[in-house]
Amino acid sequence: MQEFLIFYAPFLVIITGIALSFFVVLKDDAVTKSEYKETRKTDV
């Protein structure tokens, strides 16, 4: 168990973090200028 925690766990955490970040980015919608103008927000 000690070997697993020292050698493999850090790589699993990094790979999981990268995969999770790609998943979150794909779910995030970019706001375009036309969408921003449609909301009529004044703060820039």
Backbone angles phi, psi at 42, to 5 degrees: -100, -15
pLDDT at 31: 65
pTM, 2 dp = 0.56
pLDDT at 5: 86
pLDDT at 19: 96
What is the rounded CA–CA span in Å between residue 34 and residue 26? Answer: 21
What is the rounded CA–CA span in Å between residue 14 and residue 8? Answer: 10
Each residue of 1-44: pLDDT tens digit?
888 889 999 999 999 999 999 998 888 776 666 766 677 666 55
What is the rounded CA–CA span in Å between residue 35 and residue 37? Answer: 5
